[in-house]
């Protein structure tokens, strides 16, 4: 089978399209013919070899050599202990930790997958798992979102942000999105009440406050965020630079002690709410934003585009055409 493989850390140039052996599912696994896979920040960290990924995946040489976690495809074979699925089922899910999605076939445990609704294309399915789970778990589980609140999403034009605004609209909140100017038109169309170009306006200094902040970027001091939180406000961190994350982690107890403001981190529970996302998709309440599609041989090019941060929503790789993208 064809797969995108890397044997050393570096830029997207270390990624190569190779012919390798097709995987064989274990007793508790299924074999999936991959139709589509989307790109996440974790894919960049995996082959670039950032400090955390080097600790998890080998200091000098990667143990996992095929990136890609958010996949959608059709089950080709099942292990003897698999009860939930059968060959022919169309499924999707987040395989982070196991990876291997940038390939024609991948094996996965059944608890990492959900059935794909017939009305959902493989491309749309691949765009959902990680970004939608982070958005939902950040807003609902950590942020305790409530009707009538004012919500700000920092880094609002990417995958997490575009799911978050749609989920937030279900709760009747006022949503402000912060991102670059190239994404503002798309953000308006997605239902943001207010949009801010971060290069033109500093949302931490404009005198406005928010009941809930969902932060995908974490690119400012923790004190900047808490300054614009209303009393009893909640600041939810989804991702960002390691330095800023450590700062928030260290200062969180002190900030909570001297104020009523709460700082939370989203520890992703992969695939936890995919069935709920199926319901929202089938009723037309949530739909992924996909900024173009690429073929598997174009993965290095797609990753360069993704790393620039100018994409709207999700970037998806087509592995096998389904004529429904």
What Cα–Cα distance (Å) separates residue 109 from each residue in 26, 66, 113?
9, 17, 7
Q: What is the pLDDT of residues 225-273, one digit of tens each?
A: 999 999 999 999 998 777 777 887 888 788 877 788 999 999 999 999 9
Domain segments of the chain: what residues? 2-128+288-318, 131-265
What Cα–Cα distance (Å) separates residue 197 from each residue in 6, 163, 200?
36, 19, 5
What 8-state DSSP symbol labels residue 148?
T
CA nearest to 280, candidates 93, 75, 133, 90: 133
Asked if 85 and 246 touch (Cβ cutoff 8 Å), the reply is no
CATH numeric code, 2-128+288-318: 3.90.180.10
CA nearest to 169, candidates 204, 193, 133: 193
Q: What is the pLDDT of residues 169-204, one digit of tens each?
A: 999 999 999 999 999 999 999 999 999 999 999 999
How much is the pLDDT for 325? 45
Whole-prediction pTM value?
Answer: 0.94
Looking at every residue in the chain, the average pLDDT score rounds to 93
What is the pLDDT confidence band of residue 205, given thresholds at 50, 70 and 90? very high
Query: What average pLDDT does the segment 278-296 reach?
Result: 95
Asked if 314 and 286 touch (Cβ cutoff 8 Å), the reply is no
Position 86 pLDDT exceeds 70: yes
Whether the domain at 2-128+288-318 and the domain at 131-265 fall into the same CATH topology: no
CB-neighbour burial class of residue 232 (10 A; exposed 0-12, middle 13-18, buried 19+): exposed
User: Where would I find the beta strands (DSSP E) of the chain?
Assistant: 2-5, 16-19, 29-38, 70-78, 90-94, 105-109, 114-115, 150-154, 174-179, 194-197, 210-215, 229-237, 262-265, 290-295, 314-318
How much is the pLDDT for 104? 98
Position 64 pLDDT exceeds 80: yes
Distance CA(137)–CA(143), nearest Å, equals: 8
Secondary structure (3-state) at 266: coil
How much is the pLDDT for 52? 79
Q: What is the pLDDT of residues 29-54, one digit of tens each?
A: 999 999 999 999 999 988 988 887 88
How much is the pLDDT for 58? 85
Which residues, 6+ apart, have CB-to-CB distance to 270 below 8 Å?
93, 94, 96, 97, 112, 129, 130, 133
131-265: CATH topology is: Rossmann fold (3.40.50)
How much is the pLDDT for 322? 62
Position 324 pLDDT exceeds 60: no
């Amino acid at each position: 089978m064809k797969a995108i493989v890397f044997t050393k850390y570096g830029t997207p140039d270390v990624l190569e399209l190779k012919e390798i052996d097709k995987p064989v599912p274990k007793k508790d696994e299924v074999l999936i013919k991959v139709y589509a896979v989307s790109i996440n920040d974790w894919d960049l960290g995996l082959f670039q070899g950032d400090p955390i990924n080097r600790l998890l995946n080998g200091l000098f040489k990667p143990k996992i050599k095929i990136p890609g976690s958010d996949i959608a495809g059709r089950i080709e074979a099942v292990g003897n202990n698999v009860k939930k699925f059968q060959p022919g089922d169309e499924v999707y899910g987040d395989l982070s930790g196991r990876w291997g999605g940038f390939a024609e076939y991948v094996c996965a445990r059944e608890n990492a997958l959900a059935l794909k609704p017939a009305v959902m294309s493989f491309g749309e399915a691949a765009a959902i798992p990680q970004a939608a789970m982070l958005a939902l778990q950040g807003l609902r589980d950590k942020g305790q979102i409530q009707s009538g609140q004012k919500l700000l999403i920092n880094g609002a034009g990417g995958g997490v942000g575009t799911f978050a605004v749609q989920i937030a609209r279900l709760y009747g909140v006022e949503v402000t999105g912060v991102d670059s100017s190239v994404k503002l038109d798309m953000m308006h169309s997605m239902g943001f009440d207010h949009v801010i170009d971060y290069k033109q306006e500093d949302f931490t200094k404009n005198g406005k406050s928010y009941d809930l902040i969902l932060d995908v970027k974490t690119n400012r001091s923790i004190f900047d965020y808490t300054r614009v939180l209303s009393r009893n406000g909640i600041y939810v961190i989804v991702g960002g630079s390691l330095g800023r994350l450590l700062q928030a982690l260290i200062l969180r107890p002190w900030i909570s002690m001297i104020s009523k403001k709460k700082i939370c981190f989203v520890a992703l529970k992969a695939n936890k709410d995919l069935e709920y996302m199926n319901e929202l998709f089938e009723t037309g309440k949530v739909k992924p934003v996909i900024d173009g599609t690429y073929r598997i041989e174009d993965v290095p090019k797609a990753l360069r585009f993704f790393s620039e941060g100018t994409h709207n929503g999700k970037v998806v790789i087509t592995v096998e055409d389904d004529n429904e993208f």
